[in-house]
Structure 1
Amino acid sequence: MSAKGSNVRVFVRFRPTANFAQDTINLGEDNKTIDIHIKKDEKFGVVNNQRSDWSFKVDGFLHNASQDSVYNAAAEPVVSKVLDGYNGTIMCYGQTGAGKTFTTTGATGNYKLRGIIPRVLQQVFKEIEERSEQSVTVRVSYLEIYNETLFDLLSTLPDVPAPDTQMTIVDDAQGVSVKGLSIHHASSEEDAMNLLFEGETNRIIGSHILNKNSSRSHCIFTIHLESHSRTLSNAKYTISKMNLVDLAGSERLGKTGSEGQILKEAAYINKSLTFLEQAIIALADRRRDHIPFRQSKLTYALKDSLGGNCNTVLVANVYGEAAQISETLSTLRFASRMKCIPAESVVIEHYDPVRVAKNLAKEIAHLKQELAIHDTLANRTNVSYEPFNESQIGEINTQVRRYLDGNLHEIDIINIRQIQEVCSQFKIILSQQEQEVEARLRQKYTLIDRNDYVAIAAAQKVGMGNLWIT
């Protein structure tokens, strides 16, 4: 079962500000068009002065939008699809300080300001309760990519053993996974929220001019779902996952004033985001055969979300102020490229071998009952459909020999299994007879290969009368 082919959905969220650049940023009445106009006598950052107008088409922009409206527009439809067996991804991208982490996780001290991840967990467990015909197992993992190194944000939990080897990203039957990353069972929304809070406390943050609590790493919170039918006769089940991605913000070092360790982290962040944009450009180009996913840990970890079997939504977070227009333009360009990526999600169904075996056993028992009723109505008694034992096979062998000798005019047909055994005994007897004929010929004649001219000439010379050329 597959979903109709579509493209990655893109939403743009503006950070609330009292200084919104109305003369520069024009939001269309269709809620899908964003026009940027820069006057010729104005210079903002590193904008190319040869061009002054841009227009971007998105699936929706979120201006002065509440956390509720952001979630309803961008995330809610994806979560329902994940519970149906489709993979899903919601990714937040943008300039540092533009509100990505607020959109993703929200404010911990205010319930109304909770972000996408807490709301996803709430919706997942709410819908699981409503789907009484399904048994759904929920597991959670939390991956951090810091300076091109993988970290397990839930590794500090007491039930997580210390990894023997460094974590690595691998391709497997389910797609892309991280070897060595711990995955934790969550039986309730409270369990899942506790895992989220545990991971959040282990995240790496830093401070600079634009953001006092800047994320210094890319983080991927993944919800793994396995859904079985409560009807035992239904052996099909689905495995799906939901990636919730909070990317570190792109930075212009001149504006952030970063130095020391913060400067080093910014270099890694910008480099990985550059590789991400290269992968996006390649995916949007239908003529490209090779997609450079393995250029960075980030692009490799997001391989399924970007170019695989997944419903993907990008929330591009931008500033609405004139002073940040160059970074806003950069983010909108990335968003427009992301929107060009084709996407087609498919439900991959699996089969429980234990349930399949039980179902087959029930079907066999049912068919045997049907045969027994049919035989009774046809006055066919003492008919067995079980495999033949050695004694029964010997009796069939005797019947076939008597038939071949002319002592038995016909063999009574009872069932398909008997017909198969009769044919098998015919083959066995025929093979035995051929071997007996060949043995008698070898005793009476000297067999010589017709291509062995030397042996034939020698035998004829000595006058061998019992010569048989094969």
Structure 2
Amino acid sequence: MAAEQPGQEVCVKVAVGLPGAEDMDRKNTDFIINEDSRSLLIRNIADKGFQENVFVFDGIFRLNAGLEKIYSELVQPAIGAVILGYNVTLLVCGSQGSGKDSVLRGSHGQRGLVQQVLQNLFDEIHSAEKDKEWQVTISFVQFYADGTARDLFNSNHRDLEALNVCMLGLVVEGLDEGVVLGAEAAYSLYLQGARRAEEQNSTLFTLTVEQKGRVPQSAGTVQRSVVQVLDLTGETLPSQHGSHISPLMHALQKEITGDAEGFLPIVLQQALEGNSWTVLFYCFNAQSLSRDEILSALLVLDQVRGLAKTISPNCWDPSKLIQKLRGDVRELRTQLLTSSTVQESAVLRLGQLLKQLQVVKNQSWEKKKEISEVLERKWKCWLKAAPGEAEAWHRQGQTSELEAMEREQTEASSPHAEHEEVRAQKHHMLQVFHAYRGLLEEQMDGLEQRYRKLLEEVIQDAVHLAARNQQLEAENKELNAAVAELREKKKM
């Protein structure tokens, strides 16, 4: 399947994951999958009228097998388009016990989506043009029901703020975003962040892929692609029918009005309607849902599959965007200084522009590299503390992650092993403490430098404004003198 051309209309693709045949509860509802593996027929055995409902999706698979086939059909072509500048969003939905975690991280000898995406992406990058510069960064966010979010790569539980920046879309301010050089390291970091996540909350794992040299006529232009894996935890939302639905379905049933809705609805809206190649994986826990609830969920999935949008590659020039934002800031400052009354809306707009300016500076190629050097020490400690994950990666799905962890626990059950493990944990905690202390010191230095630069810009703007005012006063005096001279000549 070839990648869509720039500006071409595409539709959101939907794949449905069903429990293995041995796990199916056939007491009230019978699932039949057609030979083409795309049609799902639901037959109610208890109904004397023998009622049937048929739904057609882009792919249907069993949770214990078939994921890699669906991946190759629906996701791999999209990942192949990432190196051309396209965004990709993978939505994985389902309540607890639905098998969603196995789709994300793999089980029963099959690799999960995250592992396949990382391997596929870095394979594409390594096989691309050798004369191009590449930079891949990762971040990991957890969402809360009250609309807030926190960084899973940062132990500081501070609230994060999302900004909608022109050319970049939704960008999270203050997020730890570091450079990764390969699929193995990226997957190990993902697993570390996933352990910090709380099961009842949704998460967003993001890879930002940037490339220099794609646009020959503009040396400063950077091609930017974003790959997002959104883990939507299912929940029971209050409704007339008591349906078990996910945040995705909740977002489709109401109008999203903006920032007041919180992080998750905005992210979902961009995934469904924004500039990205989107694939939705929905996992059913058939045993906990009634037939009506299953039908309700399938109807919403059918609605999602019909969503059409236009996708196009992404390029941006950091220096030009910074220059534009600085110009907007100066213009707004001048407006505020020359106005006789304080305009609250203008003040708020100025604050937003200053935040956007700082975010854009941090999103530049060089600044990301600089920030990553600070994060590198902490992430190295994480990777050293998780040798079993790298081993599991090399087995490429031969054994599930859970089985690998259980085997490690069994091997470490002897008293000597316990003593060694305690000593290793103490050593690791000491390393993490030193890394965090160094990171905090560097962050404080960086914060001080950032405020110094902002202060210098304010002073420069004030000096420029004062000089301009003096120039205008001098010109005004000259004009008044010329007018007076003309009046004298006219009297004579």
TM-score by length of 2: 0.56
Indicate the percent of aligned positions where both proteins have the same amino acid. 22
Aligned equivalents of 1:123 and 1:349: distance in 2? 22
Residue 167 of structure 1: aligned partner: 160
TM alignment of 1:26-425, pairs within 5 A: 26-39=32-45, 41=47, 52-63=51-62, 65-107=65-107, 112-131=109-128, 132-148=130-146, 149-156=148-155, 162=156, 166-173=159-166, 174-204=168-198, 215-229=199-213, 235=219, 236-251=221-236, 273=246, 276-281=248-253, 294-319=260-285, 325-351=291-317
Structure 1 residues 323 and 9, CA, compared in 2 at 3 Å: closer, same or farther? Answer: closer
Residue 209 of structure 1: aligned partner: none
Structure 1 residues 218 and 66, CA, compared in 2 at 3 Å: closer, same or farther? Answer: same
Q: Which amino acid aligns with 2:305?
A: K
SS of equivalent to 1:24: strand
Query: 1:338-358 deviations in whole A, cap 9, x for unaligned?
Result: 11222211112224769xxxx
Structure 1 residues 183 and 446, CA, compared in 2 at 3 Å: closer, same or farther? Answer: closer
Aligned equivalents of 1:347 and 1:190: distance in 2? 27
Q: Which amino acid aligns with 2:34?
A: G
Report if the CA contact (8 A) 2:14-2:281 is conserved. yes
The alpha-carbon deviation at position 27 of structure 1 amounts to 2.3
Give the number of the structure whose residues are more often helix, by fraction.
2
Aligned equivalents of 2:189 and 2:71: distance in 1? 21
Q: Which amino acid aligns with 1:54?
A: N
Report if the CA contact (8 A) 2:162-2:173 is conserved. yes
Structure 1 residues 176 and 353, CA, compared in 2 at 3 Å: closer, same or farther? Answer: closer
Report if the CA contact (8 A) 1:94-1:331 is conserved. no
Query: 1:234-287 deviations in whole A, cap 9, x for unaligned?
Result: 52431111110111123599xxxxxxxxxxxxx9x979x35x42432568xxxx
The alpha-carbon deviation at position 172 of structure 1 amounts to 1.5
Report if the CA contact (8 A) 1:279-1:292 is conserved. no
The alpha-carbon deviation at position 296 of structure 1 amounts to 4.2
* Unmatched segments (≥5 aa) in structure 2: 321-485
Residue 8 of structure 1: aligned partner: 12
SS of equivalent to 1:216: coil
Query: 1:354-388 deviations in whole A, cap 9, x for unaligned?
Result: 9xxxxxxxxxxxxxxxxxxxxxxxxxxxxxxxxxx
SS of equivalent to 2:181: coil
Query: 1:287-308 deviations in whole A, cap 9, x for unaligned?
Result: xxx7677534311233321221
Structure 1 residues 221 and 75, CA, compared in 2 at 3 Å: closer, same or farther? Answer: same
Q: Which amino acid aligns with 1:185?
A: V
SS of equivalent to 2:22: coil
Aligned equivalents of 2:215 and 2:164: distance in 1? 33
SS of equivalent to 1:154: coil
Aligned equivalents of 2:250 and 2:223: distance in 1? 33
Report if the CA contact (8 A) 1:94-1:316 is conserved. yes
The alpha-carbon deviation at position 115 of structure 1 amounts to 0.4
Report if the CA contact (8 A) 2:8-2:312 is conserved. no
Aligned equivalents of 2:244 and 2:174: distance in 1? 26
The alpha-carbon deviation at position 62 of structure 1 amounts to 1.5
* Length, aligned pairs only: 316
Q: Which amino acid aligns with 1:15?
A: P
Aligned equivalents of 1:306 and 1:12: distance in 2? 17
* Unmatched segments (≥5 aa) in structure 1: 43-48, 157-161, 205-214, 254-266, 284-289, 355-441, 449-465
SS of equivalent to 2:205: strand
Aligned equivalents of 1:217 and 1:32: distance in 2? 30
TM-score by length of 1: 0.59
Query: 1:421-442 deviations in whole A, cap 9, x for unaligned?
Result: xxxxxxxxxxxxxxxxxxxxx8
Report if the CA contact (8 A) 2:65-2:110 is conserved. no
Query: 1:377-407 deviations in whole A, cap 9, x for unaligned?
Result: xxxxxxxxxxxxxxxxxxxxxxxxxxxxxxx
Structure 1 residues 344 and 231, CA, compared in 2 at 3 Å: closer, same or farther? Answer: closer
Report if the CA contact (8 A) 2:61-2:67 is conserved. no
Q: Which amino acid aligns with 1:67?
A: L
Query: 1:6-56 deviations in whole A, cap 9, x for unaligned?
Result: 2111111112131544973232334322222224548xxxxxx9x944222
Aligned equivalents of 2:172 and 2:254: distance in 1? 24
| CA root-mean-square deviation | 3.7
The alpha-carbon deviation at position 5 of structure 1 amounts to 0.3
Structure 1 residues 270 and 37, CA, compared in 2 at 3 Å: closer, same or farther? Answer: closer
Structure 1 residues 54 and 281, CA, compared in 2 at 3 Å: closer, same or farther? Answer: farther
